[in-house]
Chain A
Amino acid sequence: MSLLEIRKLEAGYGSRQVLFDAVAEVERGQIALIVGPNGSGKSTLLKAIYRQCDFKSANEFSFDALSIAKTPLQRLMRAGLAYVPQHKNVFNRLTGRENLQLALVMRGKPDVPSGLTEQIPEIGRILGRTAGQLSGGQRQLLALTMGLIVRPKLLLLDEPLAGLDERGSSTVAATIRLHQEEYGIAFLIVEHRYKRLIALADRCYGMKLGRTITRLDRAQLQDAHRVDSAMREVFVL
């Protein structure tokens, strides 16, 4: 059974339905990408998995054999689910270290591991500073580290490259790859700038108007023409 299985998911916010037929499947230790234009329901899909919006129905909606709709968020978190939202994803009044400590303590884990700065060298410059003083890229890296440091089975990332320059994007991509290989963390990533991450992905889903309309597996992702035609289908009106 896959780590995450979603078939024909319908969800939204109160009476406003956003997802009509969302599909996704993530295997253990794999990276799946979700792409699509604004308003396609990508971020809502992540929120639905993390129980941040209203579930309506689904043929299958499970994480690690737990029914997401019936399991409280705290239980899903203990089972290894973590989420990094796109906006306001760090506490600006807390230092980098305090942000990380908070994420760790709430999952019953000890203090920030000493080897962290060797794995993510840039984080060393962030730890002692208040998050509000950091650049956008540094804040994004801190948010990603908060998600990674608890060693989840599956990390949901909403636009991790948003606002980053080429160097920042490379750092984030390398950090994701490192943690996938080293700790077997699986990722479900929503990203506008999909070209930067497509080399990492084992699978890619295209969404449009609340529906998953295309799926590309690893072999298909190697084929540039196949990817281009799939993305045209997703992004062209």
Chain B
Amino acid sequence: MGMQLLVNSLYSFLMLALVAASFFLVFKPSKYFHISHAAVIVLSAYTFLFCRTAGLGPLFAGVAALAAATALGSLSELVLYRRLSVSRDAGIKVLVLSLGVYLVVQNILSIGFGDQIQLVDPCNGCLRRVLVGSSFVVSSAQLGNVVIAGTTLAGLLVVWYRTSFGRAARSVSENRELAGIIGVNTNRIILLSVALGSCVAGIAGLLIGFEVGITPTAGFSYLLFAIIAMVIGGNESLLGTIAGALLLGALQSGTAFFIDSKWASTISYVVLIAFLLIRPEGVKSLNLALERR
């Protein structure tokens, strides 16, 4: 029983961490609440589905899916949000505009693909195999997702904390004005970070589609979980956000295991409210300790 809970928690954590990290990359440097990130998540899965239905190979479909997600996020930033960013009350304007982009994409997907759950199958049922261990059960989709999500997260951490782009993006996230003063091209860094975050969201959308299937509105609940993970993690660092996803993943798996999976979302939102009211700075000590590494 304990082993199964551990496996479930690891899986939930990695999927939540992937979505939360993707949203963090988009939100922190730009400081805008991109609701349309929920559309980016599902667009990749539907693009994959479309390409496969059209008879294209899984590799091509995967590349097209990630390209579509990256393009939607980047073009929204470049063509829409950036124009508003210099205007008065830019935050609320971008929020409303982003909601509009989300609804447009979601409606197009609903009209094109319907509202029912659609499983994204890259290899004719190969992901539906069930592997039974001595004390746990896991599907091949979950196993594949763990490997892909883990590798993507590790790569993201390296990019964020060990490259000059990551340094520049962290500087823009903390103090955009000072970053400009020392010569960082802040608009370019924001665009690159949004593109990277959207690409990672595309990967997350594909993995969700592989395992539980996708609907045009599915991205929104994942986005809300990502925000809860960011709040728990202190809303300051990528490591803190991933740590927040770890706690939320364990909480959701524990709830599903010991109570009922129907309660997992409700308890997650209760935790969000509790953190915002009692500890709005999140688990700061954990966050800082991780950053000091």
Contacts and interface: CB of A to CB of B under 8 A. Distances in A.
Given A94-B167, A105-B164, A130-B291, A146 B175 contact: no
Contacts of B180: 73
Given A83-B181, A91-B171, A101-B164, 15 more contacts: A52-B181, A74-B185, A85-B178, A85-B181, A90-B178, A91-B175, A93-B236, A94-B171, A102-B182, A103-B182, A103-B183, A105-B167, A106-B168, A130-B292, A133-B292
A88 B175 CA distance: 8
Interface string B193-215: 00000000000000000000000
A6 B177 CA distance: 25
B177 to A, nearest CB: 8
A25 to B, nearest CB: 23
B237 interface: yes
A102 B184 contact: yes
B281 interface: no
A231 interface: no
6 contacts: A90-B178, A91-B179, A94-B171, A101-B167, A102-B167, A106-B168
Contacts of A125: none
B178 A92 contact: no
A93 B174 contact: yes
A89 B178 contact: yes
Contacts of B179: 91
A91 B181 contact: no
Contacts of A89: 178
Most chain A CB within 10 A, of B168, B182, B236, is at: B182
B34 interface: no
Interface in A103-145: 103, 105-107, 130, 133
A91 B168 contact: no
Contacts of A52: 181
Closest 5 CB pairs of A and B: A106-B183, A103-B182, A105-B164, A91-B171, A91-B174
Interface of A: 50, 52, 73-74, 77, 83, 85, 88-94, 98, 101-103, 105-107, 130, 133, 146
Interface string B148-185: 00000000000000001001101100110111111111
A98 B183 contact: no
Contacts of B236: 93
A130 B174 CA distance: 13
Contacts of A83: 181
B171 A102 contact: yes
A105 B179 CA distance: 12
Contact of B182 (A92, A106, A130, A133): A106
Contacts of B292: 130, 133
B162 to A, nearest CB: 10
Contact of A50 (B167, B181, B185, B291): B181
A52 B174 CA distance: 19
A90 B291 CA distance: 17
A94 B182 contact: no
B178 A77 contact: no
A62 B168 CA distance: 30
A89 B177 CA distance: 10
Contacts of B174: 91-94
Nearest to B168: A102
A106 B167 CA distance: 11
A77 B183 contact: yes
Nearest to A129: B292
B289 to A, nearest CB: 11
Contact of A107 (B164, B171, B183, B237): B183
Contacts of A98: 167
A164 B199 CA distance: 46
A91 B170 contact: yes
Contacts of B164: 101-102, 105
A91 B178 contact: yes
Contacts of A146: 182
A85 B179 CA distance: 12
